[in-house]
A and B are shown apart, each in its own frame.
Chain A
Amino acid sequence: MNNLSDYVIPFIVLCIVLYGIKKKVNVYDTFVEGSKESFDMTLKIFPSLLAMVVGVNIFLKSGVLDFIFSYLKPIFNIINVQVEILPMAIMRPISGSAALAILNDIFLNYGPDSLIGKISSIIQGSTDTTFYVLTLYFGSIGIKKIKYAMWAGLFCDLVGIIGAIIIGNMLF
């Protein structure tokens, strides 16, 4: 199953090219023409990406989250949940690279096969960086009013994190 990903891309590319030939499309020219669009798209997302990086990094480096952790820790202890997962859980929706760095630390300190390592793996594997997706996807088409999108996205993350903790404790 690990190698499944290795087959997907070549298979998709082959299918698309073969289908293109069958439908008498000039496959090469069409590829080049489509690829050109990436310049425009990349330039369009850069400003919103930059804005997000500035905001998120100021927030993360200020130490606000450490402050929040210190208050959440006792609550986690009361409901008997692994406190070590907390930084990972809070970081995941905000910054993908920061969450990955924390996961790295967890593997280093507790090992990937510990319960903490496994639960963190599931959190990383089954949720996505909501803020990144939000700014990138809406920024690229100039959406300013996002309505309830953030709440829906964060709710998904919350369910994913709680689900990972419960299922992790049940499975392993």
Chain B
Amino acid sequence: MINKIWCSFIIIGIIFSLFTGRMDIITSEILKSSETALNMIVKIFPVMALWLGIMNIALKSGMLNKLSKLVYPVLKIIFPEIPKKHESLGYITTNIVMNVFGLGNAATPFGLKAMKSLQELNEKKDTASRSMITFLVINTSGVTLVPTTVISLRMLYNSVSPGGIMFGCILVTIISLTCGLIFDRILWRINK
């Protein structure tokens, strides 16, 4: 799937720019892309180093385990395939908590840890498991109570109420998350 999308992006993009005469832009974009990706990594790496360190304390002290037990009754409904007390539950919870407070960058390391730990439960290592896709849906629906980036950008443009969109955001998030989770269930049933 990713393979097909990637190829279509490249093929459509290059052929289309033949017609729009943007070949020069495409050339520089291709050559520049590894630098762009490196810049992204440079931004992600320190955040990851920090939070993986802090998270390791939570893991070794058993705090993560305790947290997993606490949220298990709720997560059990969303992730029926994850066994009780599994490490991934703790990572999924922390990832959601970070997202909720609008700390998207800090959420990424936990998301990656959650995926790694879900991979342990996965039977086919090259195929996405049901829990992984559900977790991905939660992340793409952007569970956020405080959209920090948007609020600070609104402040920058002298909005009368920078946080005035929060209620709307919460409402939309709830709707898209609910619909997303239902749709995920339906797709899973069809693909079973």
Residues of A that sit less than 8 Å from B by CB: 1-2, 4-5, 8-9, 12-13, 15-17, 19-20, 22-23, 25, 27, 30-35, 37-39, 41-42, 45-46, 49-64, 67, 93, 100, 103-104, 107-108, 111-113, 117-118, 121-122, 124-131, 133-138, 140-153, 155-157, 159-160, 163-164, 167-168, 171
Cα A100 to Cα B176 in complex, Å, equals 20
* Supplied contacts A30-B61, A103-B150, A152-B133, 15 more A-B pairs, CB within 8 Å: A9-B106, A15-B63, A23-B63, A30-B60, A31-B53, A55-B10, A64-B13, A125-B149, A126-B168, A150-B1, A152-B140, A155-B183, A156-B137, A157-B141, A167-B172
Interface majority SS on A: helix, strand, loop or mixed?
helix
Cα A151 to Cα B167 in complex, Å, equals 27
Q: Are A42 and B44 in contact (CB under 8 A)?
A: yes
Cα A144 to Cα B158 in complex, Å, equals 45
Which single member of A25, A117, A135 contacts B61 (CB below 8 Å)?
A: A25
Cα A16 to Cα B51 in complex, Å, equals 11
Cα A135 to Cα B108 in complex, Å, equals 12
Q: Are A112 and B13 in contact (CB under 8 A)?
A: no
B: number of interface residues (CB 8 Å):
107
Residue B74 CB within 8 A of the other chain: no
Please name all residues of chain A whose beta carbon is closer than 8 Å to the beta carbon of B147 when the two chains form the complex.
Answer: 121, 124-126
The residue among B13, B37, B140, B151 with the most chain A CB atoms within 10 A of its own CB is B140
Please name all residues of chain B whose beta carbon is closer than 8 Å to the beta carbon of A138 when the two chains form the complex.
Answer: 2, 115, 128, 132, 136
**Given contacts A122-B172, A156-B140, A156-B176, is CB(A20)–CB(B112) below 8 Å?**
no
Q: How far is the CB of A130 from chain B (nearest CB, A)?
A: 4
Query: Total A-B residue pairs with C-beta atoms closer than 8 Å?
Result: 345
Cα A137 to Cα B2 in complex, Å, equals 12
Q: Are A55 and B9 in contact (CB under 8 A)?
A: yes
Which single member of A23, A42, A150 contacts B48 (CB below 8 Å)?
A: A42
Q: Are B17 and A16 in contact (CB under 8 A)?
A: no
The residue among B16, B109, B142, B156 with the most chain A CB atoms within 10 A of its own CB is B142
The residue among A39, A60, A118, A160 with the most chain B CB atoms within 10 A of its own CB is A160
Interface majority SS on B: helix, strand, loop or mixed?
helix
Cα A150 to Cα B10 in complex, Å, equals 18
Q: Are A135 and B2 in contact (CB under 8 A)?
A: yes
10 closest residue pairs by CB, A with B: A34-B56, A125-B147, A35-B53, A58-B13, A156-B180, A55-B9, A112-B159, A160-B176, A38-B49, A128-B142
Q: Are B146 and A143 in contact (CB under 8 A)?
A: no
- B111-162 interface (Cβ within 8 A of A): 111-112, 115-116, 119, 124-128, 132-133, 135-137, 139-142, 144, 146-151, 153-154, 156-162
Q: Are A63 and B17 in contact (CB under 8 A)?
A: yes
Q: Are B61 and A141 in contact (CB under 8 A)?
A: no
Chain A, Cβ-Cβ closest to B175: A163
Cα A13 to Cα B54 in complex, Å, equals 7
Q: Are B167 and A171 in contact (CB under 8 A)?
A: yes
Residue B78 CB within 8 A of the other chain: no
Residue B77 CB within 8 A of the other chain: no
Per-residue CB proximity of B1-40 to A under 8 Å, as 1/0? Answer: 1110110011011101100101001100110111011101
Which single member of A16, A35, A37 contacts B63 (CB below 8 Å)?
A: A16
Q: How far is the CB of B149 from chain A (nearest CB, A)?
A: 7
Please name all residues of chain A whose beta carbon is closer than 8 Å to the beta carbon of B176 when the two chains form the complex.
Answer: 126-127, 156-157, 159-160, 163
